[in-house]
Amino acid sequence: MKARDTSASVAGFTLLELLIALAIFAILSSLAYGSLRSALFNREQSQLRTEQLTQLQMALLFISRDLEQVVNRPVRNTYGDTQRPLLTPQQTYRLEFTRGGWNNPGQRGRSTLQRVAYAVEEGALIRYSWRMLDRTDEKPALRQLLLDGVTEFELRFLDERKEWRKEWPALNAEDTAQRPLPVAIELTLELQEWGRIRRLYRLPAVQPQGAD
């Protein structure tokens, strides 16, 4: 009986087969990485758009709550000059007015009226507010970022005669605090991500007030 020949080589991969297998693996890995990268990118973009939409909704909510509680109450600035209840200054702020309904859960010794203003600074919509109606240098404004990517901030005011004006008070308006507030305000925002957005806010019919 002949002994088994142990010198026979064991079958295995040739160099060519090994290279082909490595190439196939590299291609599949590349496809899998591309799909994963695309999925992660889409997820990030979706999350970013959701955050931007939330920021936009919150900014519009702030504006709506402020304008729906406008009060016909003039204030004094840091120089002691009387400022109208609602006005569109030529510098610093795009819109400034007095609003009511400022919650005071701690029952602090302050008014429930509040002076607020909106400004656009370096493409960002900023809300300013003051703790006291009649301002002093000792009480600086509180600054709150509402919205990024703002390229335009336009306002129109509907007066009691149903005429639209681009500023308030009108240039020829009588200088008196008894003048009615606008009936409505049209706000137009131009945003980098969302384009042009227009909102119309009806102001409450309010009478002039003194200090609260």
Residue 82: predicted pLDDT? 87
Q: What is the pLDDT of residue 5?
A: 52
What pLDDT does 70 receive? 94
Residue 201 makes CB contacts below 8 A (sequence gap 6+) with 63, 64, 67, 68, 184, 185, 186, 187
Tokens of 129: 């507010």
Alpha carbons 125 and 150: distance in angstroms, whole number: 7
Contact in structure between 176 and 208 (CB atoms under 8 Å): no
Contact predicate 61/125, CB 8 Å: no
Specify the fold of 63-202.
Pili subunits (3.10.610)
**Residue 116 dihedral angles phi and psi, to the nearest 5°:** -130, 160
* Torsion sign, CA atoms 128, 130, 135, 140: negative
pLDDT exceeds cutoff 60 at 6: no
Asked if residue 7 has pLDDT above 70, the reply is no
The stretch 30-52 carries a mean pLDDT of 77
Compute the distance between CA of residue 35 and CA of residue 84 in angstroms, rounded to an integer.
60
Could you identify the residue written with the tokens 């990030």? 44
pLDDT by residue (tens digit) across 96-118? Answer: 999 998 777 666 666 789 999 99
What is the pLDDT averaged over residues 88-94?
83
Q: Which residues pair with 201 in a beta bridge?
A: 185
Using a 10 angstrom Cβ sphere, with 0-12 exposed, 13-18 middle and 19 or more buried, the burial of residue 87 is middle
Question: In this structure, are residues 70 and 203 in contact, taking their beta carbons and an 8 Å threshold?
Answer: yes
Q: What is the pLDDT of residues 157-180, one digit of tens each?
A: 999 889 999 999 876 655 544 567
Q: What share of the chain is helix, strand, coil (3-state, %, to 5)?
A: 25, 30, 45
Is residue 212 scored above 50 in pLDDT? no
- pTM value > 0.95: no
The residue behind tokens 């519009």 is 60
pLDDT tier for residue 35 given thresholds of 50, 70 and 90 = confident
Under the banding of pLDDT at 50, 70 and 90, the label for residue 24 is confident
- Report pLDDT digits (tens) over 179-207: 678 999 999 999 998 899 999 999 987 55
Decide: 180 and 199 in contact? Cβ < 8 Å.
no
Q: What is the pLDDT of residue 29?
A: 80
